[in-house]
Amino acid sequence: MAKKHTKPVVIKLKGLKKRYGIGNAEHYALDGVDLVIEKGEFIAIMGPSGCGKTTLLNILGLLDRPTDGDYLLDKKPVEELSAAHHARIRSEQIGFVFQNFNLIPRLTVIENVALPLTYKGMRKMKRLKEASRVLKNFHLQEREYYMPNQLSGGQSQRVAIARALVNNPSIILADEPTGNLDSRASHIVMEELSDLHRRGNTIIMVTHNPKLTTYASRVIHMLDGKIASDTKIMVEVTSTTDKIPLGIKKKVAA
């Protein structure tokens, strides 16, 4: 019996493959991935190096194209969309958080956060005002005119998250977002992502750290370009406050 989806499906993959090389050097980074992601899920993708995690994330973010298979985003086949449409989706619907922050060294914090708004044609003062608003949410308003090299690792990653959110995207893609951080900074960043999840954002995170899966509502393990396991974590909700109490989770096989 087919699974019934209680929430809107935002991403659907069917038989997705990504091939590199030719002849004897040919190999599949992704080898027939089937995946359905509902709105508001927090998915942690794990697996050994070379298993296809980052390749999958890049395809989901329209930074790469599959060799075969289907990718539907909001029920629309992405291969039928133009390059300009792909760019618009990346600008408006998808936010990216990278392990190495990818902040531009010559721009201030507020200019880095405002940068995605440039591609929407927004005027400078309005861009900076919006960037300042987002930075305030991350308690970084006092760092607005710092340069990236004046920030700690945790602050840099929070700036990167603020930049990912400035366009109010519905999907956040995070590639090892705590990979270069110490445990305290990692906790702060993960609490920020967890808060975004509680607000209804769909978050897809690649990580090597099994401790971070406690923040997720679903954990996917990959091996050799395939999904080896897919586990949902049922989170109980209190009837009085309708909020998610941390730590009350029950694992069930998907």
The answer to whether residue 232 is domain-embedded is yes
How does residue 113 score in pLDDT terms, banded at 50, 70 and 90?
very high
The answer to whether residue 68 is domain-embedded is no
- Look up tokens 């091939």; give the residue: 19
The answer to whether residue 132 is domain-embedded is yes
The answer to whether residue 9 is domain-embedded is no
The answer to whether residue 69 is domain-embedded is no
How does residue 250 score in pLDDT terms, banded at 50, 70 and 90?
very low
Q: For residue range 214-246, list pLDDT tens digits in order.
A: 999 999 999 999 999 999 986 544 333 343 333
The answer to whether residue 5 is domain-embedded is no
SS3 category, 139: coil
Burial (CB count within 10 angstroms: exposed 0-12, middle 13-18, buried 19+), residue 155: buried
Looking at mean pLDDT, say which of 84-88, 149-153, 182-186 comes out highest: 149-153
Length of the chain counted residue by residue? 254
Quote the pTM value: 0.84
Handedness of CA 10, 171, 79, 51 (dihedral sign): negative
Shortest CA distance to 192 belongs to which of 242, 235, 139?
Answer: 139
How confident is the model over 33-54, as a mean pLDDT?
A: 95
How confident is the model over 129-136, as a mean pLDDT?
A: 93
Q: For residue range 32-43, list pLDDT tens digits in order.
A: 999 999 999 999
Cα(110)–Cα(122) distance, integer angstroms: 15
The CATH number for 219's domain is 3.40.50.300
Number of domains in the chain: 1
Shortest CA distance to 94 belongs to which of 167, 190, 186?
Answer: 167
The answer to whether residue 33 is domain-embedded is no
Find the DSSP H helices in 63-180: 83-92, 109-118, 124-137, 153-165
How does residue 122 score in pLDDT terms, banded at 50, 70 and 90?
confident
How confident is the model over 137-142, as a mean pLDDT?
A: 88
How confident is the model over 134-153, as a mean pLDDT?
A: 92
According to the model, what pLDDT value does residue 237 have?
42
According to the model, what pLDDT value does residue 3 have?
57
**Domain that residue 227 falls in:** 40-57+82-253
The answer to whether residue 62 is domain-embedded is no
Q: Tell me: pLDDT of 254 over 50.
A: no
